[in-house]
Structures are given as structure tokens and as C-alpha cells.
Amino acid sequence: MVARGRVLVLSGAGLSTESGIPDYRGAAGSLRKHTPMTYQEFVDSPDARRRYWARSHLGWRTIARARPNDGHRAVAALRAAGHLSGVITQNVDGLHQAAGTSDAVELHGSLDRVVCLDCGRTSPREELDRRLRAANPSFEGEATRINPDGDVDLDEGQVRGFRVVGCADCGSGVLKPDVVFFGENVPPERVRRCYRLVDQSRALLVLGSSLTVMSGLRFVRHAAKAGKPVLIVNRGQTRGDACATVRVDLPLGRALTDLVAQLAGSGLSGTGLPGAASTAGPVPPG
């Protein structure tokens, strides 16, 4: 399937677990112990924003240090070799871009940008990090676990004295990471762009996503409805399994690295992924 080209990748948090960033819903997923900030809570509550920024201020250090793993590098290699028509990622960690896939569509935004909810100014996360360090010189909370949304678990006592800063441009605006929070909608133009990528592709390859939320699942359903092959590689079941032509349960780094090597060496046909199992009829050749 991949060898014939025009394959669109849709990646999720499972692709970044080998870089030390946990997923939400896997066996050790953070949703078992962590409730992500919702958009409404963030905009309505100064205390909620203080809690988010204190936790995220520490979590950002781990996200910023994370490096692409074999899976990210394999996707970049497949894109460079012309096998992929595009990449959509549900991740907000920037690791696809760091691996060389500069045109990956960030469906849920990126933690390395900050936006002012009042004036709309977008600024680098590094700038905010410097300002928060200056405003909180003695803040040395101990992070117990990093979460996929970039924050960590902190005791409320560590959060209480944290100082939040406003927009450096307008002076009073509320700053928010340029990511889609739970309860917030993906910008419509970004959604339309992703649908266009699905329409222009020959097949869809899902990597490391449980497809639990509709923001990613809709593209799988759209591809399946159009009769395009859907290959899902994920540890554990997904909400999109009924749409899958092929379903594979393998570690992503190993599976994708093997795929790149096989495609480079043998002009492989079929999926190229060991352990692939058809769930919806025969696999189209190549």
C-alpha cells in the first residue's frame, strides 16, 4: 500500500511515546491519572490559568528537550522519498517538524507557540518561558509526571504562589498555548485543509492514535467512505478499527524503520509491515 505512494499519514500520541512523552489512552495513558484542562475552565478561571501555567512551565522543559524517535524519522524518510502525500498530526510536541517533516499539519496546534486571546498576537514559547522565569525566580516545583498536553502533576501548594504574566504586546491579554484544548474546536480552515489532503490521497495510514476523539476519527471515516484503504498501526484497539482495511499492533519505531528499509531495498508491494492483518477484505496490491 505504501509503496505505490500518495499515502496520507495521520499520527497520534502513540508515535511520541518512544520519545518519552506519554499518550492519553494507552496502557499507561495519562487520562487514567490526569484530567486535562478544558478551554472553558481556562478562559473562565484565573486560578485555573495559574494552575495550568505553573504546571506547564515545568512540563515545557521536558517537551523542549524531547527528541524525535525512529518513528518520526521514518515518517520523514517516507515523505522525502515521495511515498507520502502529506502528514497530519494530532500531536502538539513539534517532533515531526524536528525530524524533518516541515509541512506536517498540526491539527491541534503546537506547544512551542503562545497566543493572546485578546489581541491575537502569536509569540514563541521560549519568549514566555523567559518571562515566567523572571516573574518566578524561586519557583522550583518538582514534576512527578509529564502529560501529552505539556503540563505536569504538581501539588496545589506549589501552584499557589506562581505568578502568571500577560501579553507582552497589549499588556493585559490572557495568554494561552496555541493548542486546541479539550472542549475547543479545531479552526475550520485547518479542518478543511485536512479533508483536502484526504481527498488528494490514495490511502490513509494511521500511526499511534486510538482515534477516540472525533477530530481525528472523522478523517478516517471520510477516507473509508470514499473507498480508500485505511491502515492503522497502534498498540491496542482504536475507535476506527471498523474502517480499517489493515490493522497492525506493533511498536511504531521498529515497524516504520523496517518499512523504510524494505521500501528502499526491494520495491516492496503490499503494506510492508510485518504482522499486518486484514480486517475488511483483501489488501490492495502495493
> Any known ligand binding at 63?
no
Provide the pLDDT for residue 143.
57
> Any known ligand binding at 24?
yes
Taking a C-beta distance cutoff of 8 angstroms, is the pair 172, 119 a contact?
A: no
> Any known ligand binding at 12?
yes
DSSP label of 241: G
In a domain, 286, yes or no: no
Provide the pLDDT for residue 144.
56
> Any known ligand binding at 194?
no
Please identify every residue annotated as catalytic.
108
In a domain, 25, yes or no: yes
> Any known ligand binding at 13?
yes
Q: How far is residue 157's CA from residue 51's CA, in Å, rounded to a whole number?
A: 10
Name every residue whose Cβ is closer than 8 Å to that of residue 185 and which is 6 or more positions away in sequence.
none
In a domain, 163, yes or no: yes
Q: How far is residue 1's CA from residue 246's CA, in Å, rounded to a whole number?
A: 10
Provide the pLDDT for residue 35.
72
> Any known ligand binding at 147?
no
Reading the block at residue 74, the C-alpha cell is 521514518
The burial of 77, by beta-carbon neighbours within 10 Å (0-12 exposed, 13-18 middle, 19 or more buried), is given as buried
pLDDT, average across residues 115-122: 96
Domain count, the chain: 1
Report the first-to-last Cα separation within the chain, whole angstroms.
4
Compute how many other C-beta atoms are within 10 angstroms of the C-beta atom of residue 89.
30
> Any known ligand binding at 56?
no
Q: How far is CA 15 from CA 38, 85, 244, 251, in A?
A: 24, 19, 18, 9
Q: Say if residue 175's pLDDT is above 60.
A: yes
Q: How far is residue 94's CA from residue 106's CA, in Å, rounded to a whole number?
A: 8
Q: How far is CA 45 from CA 48, 50, 254, in A?
A: 5, 9, 44
Provide the pLDDT for residue 184.
94
Share of the chain above pLDDT 70, in %: 85
Give the count of alpha carbons within 13 A of 78, CB side only: 33
Confidence tier at 275 by pLDDT (50, 70, 90): low
Each residue's pLDDT tens digit, 101-110: 999 999 999 9
In a domain, 284, yes or no: no
10-24, 118-132, 242-256: the lowest-pLDDT one: 10-24
Confidence tier at 281 by pLDDT (50, 70, 90): very low
Q: What CATH number corresponds to the domain at position 254?
A: 3.40.50.1220
In a domain, 68, yes or no: yes
Taking a C-beta distance cutoff of 8 angstroms, is the pair 21, 66 a contact?
A: yes
Each residue's pLDDT tens digit, 11-61: 999 999 999 888 755 444 444 445 778 999 999 999 999 999 998 998 888
Q: How far is CA 229 from CA 9, 16, 159, 233, 280, in A?
A: 12, 24, 48, 13, 9
> Any known ligand binding at 124?
no
The residue ranking higher by pLDDT, 24 or 165, is: 165
Provide the pLDDT for residue 245.
96
Amino acid of residue 82: G
Taking a C-beta distance cutoff of 8 angstroms, is the pair 58, 154 a contact?
A: yes
Placement of cell 480552515 in the chain: 189
Radius of gyration of the chain (CA): 20
Q: Which H or E run includes 113?
A: strand 109-116
In a domain, 1, yes or no: no
> Any known ligand binding at 25?
yes
What does 181-212 look like in DSSP terms, one character per residue? Answer: -BT-PPPHHHHHHHHHHHHH-SEEEEES----
Angle at which helices 252-266 and 70-80 cross, to 10°: 30
- What is the span of the domain harbouring residue 181? 7-278
In a domain, 250, yes or no: yes
Give which of 238, 218, 237, 224 is closest to 280, Cα–Cα.
Answer: 224
Provide the pLDDT for residue 30.
44
In a domain, 148, yes or no: yes
Each residue's pLDDT tens digit, 176-228: 999 999 999 999 999 999 999 999 999 999 999 999 999 999 999 999 999 99
Provide the pLDDT for residue 283.
35
